[in-house]
A and B are shown apart, each in its own frame.
Chain A
């Protein structure tokens, strides 16, 4: 049974339909990369999976439970966390407060173990824990955002363009983090502009166009597919 199953989902805003009968799956401990042109519905797919937008038709199943109508704060508790593309840290809160907010649904539980786990993954954040997240660089913010999403130790992590607007060196660093996150047993569903690089590390990939999945396959198959290469990977 897949960890996440999106079954013929239609979704959109107002009169505009952005996803048109889209289906996809993510298995346990797998990296799945979604690529596609701008406006293909990649971010909308992330929001719909996470419950920020409810599907008009079709169903979304996580961990065997239907979550099509579930609110984000319940989805988080079921083991799925999301890192939005932009505005993904609380700029007026410190790094440590950002992490605490990541574990908000746990109530008054002791967070020191979760914090230590995240700080071990992102050692720089421990040094900067009293600093305001708004005063940090783009790469550091991305670490705060991913760290906050990992506080609950989710089973599935959604990453919306984690490397957007970062320098090539930082892009490599973020991709390394993503690989090490997967090694701790967390499945990852990501949308990426750096399509080639993300497909190289992904177990499987989907190409989205016009709200439908055009192609799917293992990362290798996608990279070798001449049509995918010509249309979506820039030749």
Chain B
């Protein structure tokens, strides 16, 4: 970046060293266009596909991995959108956001243990009690987020604390919430329904997908569309965008920004809770799941352009697919490393992220 801006200020030197054409492909501040970055990302994903194929995985299996990656992307998107909304309105990265996923998953688990169990719905592995538990989890997690804001973040905000202090406070809150999950549910892994089969269904081109995975993707898709509708069509959604755009002006226009902030927490935490349940359904529940997911979450949000809900969705799907594709030839524990490598790649070409507004 640095030398490209230098060559921009010194045009003659640039053409002499032969980098003139390269400089011309960049905008005046040395930043690549979203289309260019998207093209590079597509090439990287294709390369991963080919690498998986050469390492002995069949094309059908690679196709299945791609589809699963889109579903993992849906889960990351549900967490990432809350993170990016929070950042947009409150301007600090909420490191405790991963714990909303954990809470959502465990509250649903707790509900299933006490609720009467119905037969599995359709070909899913779960019955109605999981859906009811998920609704409870959304409500409780949203309330927890609002209470945390009133107890902690709001006080810091009112004092005019620097944003780094808010970020550190959220990191502390992350450890506290994780500790509470350990205290209540222990450190063992849990399944919603241990031992219940969830056979894969066959689709064209040899793609094999479990009914639960379809559910995960459909729900994530519906929620993202609903959120998009909320942000662009409803009064509160527009007020959220207005507050994120310019909080001082929002106050001047008569918007009660504290109420907007409460709604932002509720929506962000509620979506994260669903993401946590989906993750628990797709793999298993563990007390550190939220913390582990926080890394790909941040990678997706920063890659997409922090503050942009649309960017979080696109970033999440790219990262979800990349993490699944590389699992064909890399140990899956390298997943977060793959996510961060892609993020760094995007930032090198476009420091503000794919869909950044500024």
Contacts and interface: CB of A to CB of B under 8 A. Distances in A.
Interface of A: 50, 52, 71-73, 76-77, 82, 84, 87-93, 97, 100-102, 104-105, 107-108, 148, 152
Contact of B252 (A52, A92, A97): A52
A48 to B, nearest CB: 13
8 pairs of A and B residues whose beta carbons are closest in the complex: A76-B254, A105-B254, A90-B245, A73-B254, A92-B245, A90-B242, A101-B242, A104-B255
B341 interface: no
B28 interface: no
A88 B252 CA distance: 9
Interface string B246-257: 101111111110
Nearest to B257: A73
B241 interface: yes
B250 A101 contact: yes
The CB with the most chain A CB atoms within 10 A, among B244, B249, B251, B255, is that of B249
A76 B255 CA distance: 9
Contacts, number: 63
B357 interface: yes
Contact of A91 (B239, B245, B256): B245
27 contacts: A52-B248, A52-B251, A52-B252, A72-B251, A72-B254, A73-B254, A73-B256, A76-B252, A77-B254, A87-B246, A87-B249, A88-B249, A90-B241, A90-B245, A90-B249, A92-B241, A92-B245, A97-B238, A97-B241, A100-B238, A101-B238, A101-B239, A104-B253, A107-B235, A108-B235, A148-B253, A152-B254
B238 A76 contact: no
Interface of B: 235, 238-239, 241-242, 244-246, 248-256, 357
A60 B251 CA distance: 19
Contacts of A105: 254
> Which applies to chain B's interface (DSSP): helix, strand, loop or mixed?
helix
Contacts of B253: 76, 101-102, 104, 148
Contacts of A97: 238, 241-242
Given A84-B249, A87-B248, A87-B249, A93 B255 contact: no
Nearest to B236: A104
A93 B251 contact: no
A90 B221 CA distance: 29
Contacts of B256: 73
Given A97-B238, A104-B235, A104-B239, A90 B251 contact: no
A62 to B, nearest CB: 15
Contacts of A72: 251-252, 254
Contacts of A73: 251, 254-256
A10 B245 CA distance: 31
Contacts of A91: 245-246
Nearest to B239: A104
A105 B259 CA distance: 12
A47 B249 CA distance: 12
Contacts of B248: 52, 84, 87
A88 B246 CA distance: 9
Contacts of A101: 238-239, 242, 250, 253, 255
A73 B241 CA distance: 17
Contacts of A71: 251
Contacts of B245: 90-93
A47 to B, nearest CB: 9
Nearest to B307: A92
A226 B244 CA distance: 48
Contacts of A84: 248-249, 252
A76 B254 CA distance: 6
Nearest to A145: B249
A72 B248 CA distance: 10
A209 to B, nearest CB: 26
B254 A92 contact: no
Contacts of A89: 249
Contacts of A108: 235
Contacts of B254: 72-73, 76-77, 104-105, 152
Nearest to A111: B235
